[in-house]
Amino acid sequence: MYTSDLTEAQKAFIKETIPMDNWTSKYDFFLVFDAILYVDKTGCQWRNLPHDFPAWQTVY
């Protein structure tokens, strides 16, 4: 878990707000979303994402 990760309350709000019926990736929506937030918060390069996230090409 990273400080940039969404809280459960934030995830619940997003689930209520955004329809995710068409999410087709093999990765969990929130895992990808957390990876994007990680890059935004830390300023790391896409290729330097920690290995607990999907491949940078998937997240980018």
Q: How confident is the model at residue 22 (pLDDT cuts 50, 70, 90)?
A: confident
Nearest 5°: the CA angle 13, 18, 31 is 75
Task: Say which DSSP state 8 is in.
Answer: H
Asked if residue 57 lies in contact with residue 21, where contact means CB atoms within 8 angstroms, the answer is no
Which stretch of 6-10, 18-22, 27-31, 52-56 has the lowest confidence by average pLDDT? 18-22
CA distance 22 to 40: 25
Intra-chain end-to-end CA distance of the chain, in Å: 20
Q: How far is CA 50 from CA 18, 20, 22, 30, in A?
A: 27, 25, 27, 15
